[in-house]
Amino acid sequence: MASYWRAAALTFAGFVLTLFPYAFYFTDRFTFGSNWYQWSFMARDRQVLSQIIETWRASGFDAAASMLWRQVQTTWLGFQVLPGGGYVLGYRGGGMLDDISAPLFVLGLAMTVRRLPGGREAFVLYWWFVTFVVGGIMTSAPPSFVRMVGLLPTVSILAAQPLELIARIAPDRIARVGGALLVAAFLGAAAWENWRTYFVEYPARPADPVSEVARYLKRQPADHRAALLGSEHWLNFDHEIFQIEFPGRLRDIPDPQHFLPIREPVDHPLILVFAPSQHSLADYALGLYPGASVDVIEADLRDPRGIRVVTISPEQARARAGLRVAMHGSDGAGTPGGVADPFATELPAAGARERIVWSGRLYWAPLESATLTFEATSGAVLRLGDLEPLASRGEPISRTVELARGWHPIRIEEPLPRTRPIVLSVTERDAKRAFTRWDMDPHPEAQGLTARYETKERTVKAIDPQLDLFAVESLFRSGNEPMVRMPFTVSWRGALRVEHAGTYEFEAIGSGPYTVRLDGAEILHGAPRIPEEPHVGQTSVVLAPGLHPIVVEFDSTVPAHTTRRVFQLYWTPPGQGKHLVPASNFAPVEGSHRRQSRKR
């Protein structure tokens, strides 16, 4: 240092100038605020030193020493025997090194320790030891090779030590040739092991989810479109490979629970990709579109069910879009006519009928009050939810209404012959949009629970079909926003419709505090320590057929640093498997379909 102090000072200054901007930002100008919490959270969450100290205080030195010894054992065995604990990144499901490199590494480590008094190789040993302790022993679920990736140079140097010794100590030419051949044999065997692993066995195994989904989509015709429900940091269509390979053909869905039935024109086959958190929605989609094809993408996931895919054709989607039509004669009797487009200029064949009745549900999207305008043949009557009927006199009639976002029962009675087509539109913030058949569903029954979301800025009312409040909010930007963003609280009210008596198992998953009450009694409650580790609650309840009042409350006011928030309610009916409670088994609070109305 005395001889090269200028170079040392210059190097130190370079480090300071390089690291200062990062430290300035990460520490919130050295105030250690929200940015510091976010960037240091992973380190705090993955360390076990505090757990060892707490164990020492609570149970004594022996218990803490036993815990520390287990950490040492699993970290050391991870170099050859144990697969990755924190991340599944072991060598062919085993340790960090192959069967050739691992013994050489152990020999090299022993040789370096023996030479330590000489000081020549101390740096390599210290480098290995510090990373071994900080990235392995002192972290949760070791060995995690993501945390010990800094060991790769030192492990390579240590594994080369025995080979260098063989080549160096040969006493004569023949021995040197033999030593060189032995070294070449070791290197060749290690190269063969790595070739077999990375170029033969590894390509045959399922890859990461992004790669496997991209491969699947690549095999589909170019006219197919795709939507991803349950987007995660590790699987979303914003990844570069999707942007390059499938421009304009893919999108992430911010609110999976409101996506089905499909409410957009489907002119090409639509591929619905269901991430693991949305597996139950795949069954729901198949129930809505029975003829749709289903597939499973196998990927390198901890969830053995893989990624489910449902492909819906334009014909299947169109068959579900529209209202149910019935023709009525003078005697009042109606003749069902299937599902049709109420806004089409041509009517289904009516014969001698006097009026036509359209029934089903309409999806109301505005979150604030909006103007509803109805145009139809004179004498036509519109009934939407619990609003007062709108009767047409042959000219447009408007009403300002405030409805919860979601599906509302709709019924239109239209006299025949028709003199003008039906036009139904909504005006929100001076933007007018006409409803189409894709905003309609032919099944008129009210489904879902009445939801009330409270944020700092506003109150949002909705009718949520299922309790499937899942989103990684940072993945969605302007133009593709989730209905609400953290921080918020939400309460759901309504009734649970039970068809068969028996014992029902319930399971709730929440990233924040939650409570589930059924028939006035609390059946589930959870309060996760941190939102990054959702709480799972389970219980069993004996239920009789009928409607059972249900109230669910969820608090998401503590944002996760991952921006991931989730609340889901599953059940397992007698003789069935676990799935999200279906929309058809929920009934909203009476009056949910009317918030405010006044004529203009």
CA atoms of 598 and 390, how far apart (whole Å): 11
Print the domain residue range for 221. Answer: 209-319
Phi, psi (5° rounding) for residue 397?
-125, 135
The verdict on 418 and 468 lying in the same domain is no
The verdict on 199 and 218 lying in the same domain is no
Whether pLDDT at 39 is above 70: no
pLDDT single digits (tens) 140-178 = 877 777 777 788 888 888 998 888 888 777 777 777 788
CA atoms of 412 and 372, how far apart (whole Å): 14
Q: Which two tokens stand for residue 397?
A: 């009639």
Total structural domains within the chain: 4
Confidence bin at 600 (pLDDT 50/70/90): very low
CA atoms of 371 and 387, how far apart (whole Å): 13
If we measure between CA atoms, which residue out of 517, 559, 511, 516 comes closest to residue 536?
511
pLDDT single digits (tens) 216-240 = 999 999 999 999 999 999 999 999 9
CA atoms of 134 and 136, how far apart (whole Å): 6
Residue 14 resides in a domain: no
Residue 371 resides in a domain: yes
CA atoms of 360 and 441, how far apart (whole Å): 6
Q: Per 3-state DSSP, what percentage of the chain is helix, strand, and coil (rounded to 5)?
A: 35, 30, 35
Whether pLDDT at 383 is above 50: yes
Q: Which two tokens stand for residue 568?
A: 């889901």
Report the pLDDT value the prediction gives residue 85, as an integer from 0 to 100: 55
| Mean pLDDT of all residues in 493-506 | 97
Domain with residue 431: its CATH number is 2.60.120
374 forms beta bridges with 397, 424
The verdict on 354 and 405 lying in the same domain is yes
Question: Which DSSP category does 474 fall into?
Answer: G
| Mean pLDDT of all residues in 9-33 | 80
Phi, psi (5° rounding) for residue 66?
-65, -40
The verdict on 187 and 55 lying in the same domain is yes
Q: Which two tokens stand for residue 159?
A: 């594994």
CA atoms of 323 and 340, how far apart (whole Å): 6
Domain limit, last residue, from 186, 204, 222: 204
Cα distances from 291 to residues 38, 198, 274, in angstroms, run 46, 40, 18
The verdict on 169 and 298 lying in the same domain is no
Residue 8 resides in a domain: no
pLDDT single digits (tens) 278-328 = 999 999 999 999 999 999 999 877 778 899 999 999 999 999 999 999 988
The verdict on 55 and 178 lying in the same domain is yes
Tokens 């012959």 belong to residue: 417
CA atoms of 426 and 462, how far apart (whole Å): 17
The verdict on 59 and 161 lying in the same domain is yes
Residue 34 resides in a domain: no
What's the predicted TM-score (pTM) here? Answer: 0.77
Domain limit, last residue, from 441, 464, 486: 441
Count the residues in the chain: 600
| Mean pLDDT of all residues in 420-428 | 95
DSSP 238-263: TSHHHHHHSTTTEEEES-GGGT-S--
Measure the CA angle with vertex 438, ends 432 and 440; round to 5°: 95
Cα distances from 330 to residues 43, 324, 405, in angstroms, run 76, 20, 37
